[in-house]
Amino acid sequence: MMNGLSSQEAEERLARFGPNALPAPRHVLLWLILRQFRGIFNILLLLAAAITFALREPIDASFILFFVFVGVSLNVYQEYKSNAAVEKLKTYLVRTITVRRDGRDQEVKTDEIVPGDILKLEAGDIVPADAVVREARELLVDETTFTGESVPVAKFAAGDGEEAGEERRLLQGVVIVRGNALAEVTATGTRTRLAAIAATASGVQEESELVKGIDRISAFILKATLITLLFVILANVVIDGGDVDLPELLIFAIALAISVIPEALPLVLTFTLSRGALRFAQQDVVVKRLASVQDLGSVNLLCTDKTGTITENRLAYAGFLQALGSRYHPLLLARLAAHGLDERNPEPFDRAVEEALTPELRAEAESFQILEEEAFDPALRCNGALAERADGSRIRVRRGSPEYFAERGLLEEDGFGGWLTAEERQGHRVLGVSYDEGDGPLFAGFVSFVDRLKESTREALDEARRLNV
């Protein structure tokens, strides 16, 4: 199985399952035009134009049709151009991935992957389809797309015939943070979990608040017009009695009703929204539907993801707490236990520790030679390393969650609990470190990390408050 599919099998499965891509919506010009008449108002204007022609007022009818034509044309042009821009951007996103076929590794486009393919994944790769891990070495993945959490998750290989749980599965869209793996593709295209989520989201097709508002206005105008017509006819019948000229009265009433309709309203709205779309374009935002400009402007409650939206989605060193009697700075020990800093995409904690080292701590860390690395153990929630000084003395370092050290009775100081609680309240992530020079493990302290707010976050929040959001 690790030799992968043959080229012929891959072609057959590609024909059977289709490309590994989400179905692109077809933006047919006729459909875009018809969609402009889903609301009541444009239909009401067409009806008014028809009646005006029937009343032998071609100039007035032509003006009404002109307003409808210009408004619809601008909307269709904006949507068609925006959809074309989005589709063009997608062509730049075509990626390749290493796949094992015919017993050798080769690069293929991600949309040509089929179920049964063996993916060769390493740090920095984005998993292109749902897959089961078959071989893994220190595999950590970023599942922010699905969980919103920036802390990497460990994944393990599934044995032959073994049921693959979540810890042995890779979903389309997750990023390999550390290690490498061979994974067997189980689902592609519309059969992936990411595609199911996308289908659910795209299935929500409510009309915009602007369209709903115009429909409410149109319904009100229609009701008011009918009531007015009825009142005018009844009033003339009561006043004139049997002398009323009913055909002439109907013509007068209909003309009065048409005069009530604000023919230029759709055109004015379209021009106004087009100005808003232009301002968005200046901020590199593509507006696919003009009505969404008004919807965005009427937002009063905004729910947003934290990681990567409000924060940088990048852990940074926040502080430390050194245990009494410890010979080593916690940051130094955390650096000695950091693995894979030379990889394309280092593990977030390792990168944060490396960036936080002072020149003195960096020089001290470089005086050690790493003899042995212990991979992260998700059951114990720790990893470690065996390091040696130039004089031959050795030290075994452990780095892990506070619970790991508490379960082993290494946390004896009363001050730890209060400090940990304070860090938790600030949203910091904490790692503990210990060292063993041959006389048994000694706790050295904690290092805390924070996913910092973006520089633009405070300004954005202030702007939201100003807009009463």
The answer to the question of residue 48 being in a domain is: yes
- Position 60 in a domain: yes
**Given 297, 320, 350, which residue is the final one in a domain?**
297
pLDDT of residue 281: 76
pLDDT in tens, 405-437: 988 888 876 668 888 889 988 889 999 999 999
Residue 165 lies in a domain: no
Same domain, 293 and 323: no
Q: Look at residue 348 and tell me if it is in a domain.
A: yes
| pTM value > 0.85 | no
CA dihedral sign, ordered 401, 357, 376, 133: positive
Do 276 and 325 reside in the same domain of the chain?
A: no
Residues 435 and 292 in one domain: no
**Which pLDDT tens digit goes with each residue over 112-147?**
999 999 999 988 888 999 999 998 887 888 887 787
Lowest mean pLDDT among 193-197, 355-359, 376-380: 376-380
Tell me if 419 sits within 8 A of 321, measured CB to CB.
Answer: yes
Q: What pLDDT, on the 0 to 100 scale, is given for residue 50? A: 83
Q: Are residues 397 and 264 in the same domain?
A: no
Same domain? For 316 and 436 the reply is yes
pLDDT in tens, 235-270: 777 777 666 666 676 667 666 666 666 666 777 777
What is the DSSP secondary structure assignment for residue 285, as one 8-state letter? -
378 and 279, same structural domain? no
Q: What is the pLDDT of residue 13?
A: 92
- Among the listed residues 297, 245, 255, the one whose alpha carbon sits nearest the alpha carbon of residue 275: 297
The two three-digit tokens of residue 287, written as one number:
């507006």
Q: 341: domain range?
A: 311-455
C-alpha 337: how far from chain center: 33
Catalytic residues: 305
Same domain, 346 and 400: yes
pLDDT at 264: 67
Alpha-carbon gap, residue 94 to 97, rounded angstroms = 10
Ramachandran category for residue 243: left, alpha or beta (phi over 0 → left; psi -120 to 50 → alpha): alpha
The answer as to whether 290 is a domain residue is: yes
What is the total count of domains within the chain? 2
Q: Which of 297, 322, 338 is the last residue of a domain?
A: 297
Q: Which uninterrupted H or E stretch holds 41?
A: helix 40-54
Render pLDDT for 454-467 as a digit per residue (tens, 0 to 9). Answer: 888 888 888 888 88
The label of the residue with tokens 């989201």 reads: 201
429 in a domain, yes or no? yes
Do the domain assignments include residue 128? no
Helices (H), 309-378: 330-336, 348-356, 359-366
Q: Are residues 338 and 433 in the same domain?
A: yes
Q: pLDDT band for 93, please (50, 70, 90 cuts).
A: low
The answer to whether residues 347 and 225 belong to one domain is: no
**51-72 as b/e, with b when 16 or more CB fall inside 10 Å?**
bbeeeebeebbeebbebbeebb
Quick one: pLDDT at residue 322? 92
Instruction: Give the pLDDT score at 205.
Output: 58
The average confidence (pLDDT) of the chain is: 81
Residues 227 and 367 in one domain: no
* Same-domain pairing of 271 and 371: no
Q: Evaluate whether residue 198 is within a structural domain.
A: no
CATH code, domain with 352: 3.40.1110.10
Q: Express each pLDDT in 368-412 by its tens digit.
A: 999 998 877 777 788 899 999 888 899 999 999 898 898 888 887
Distance in angstroms (rounded) separating the CA atoms of residues 74 and 289: 11
**422-461 exposure pattern, b = at least 16 Cβ within 10 A, e = fewer:** ebeeeebbbbbbbbeeeeebebbbbbbbbbeeeeeeeeee
More confident residue, 156 or 297: 156
Same structural domain, 284 and 328: no
Q: How far is CA 233 from CA 53, 238, 260, 278, in A?
A: 22, 9, 17, 48
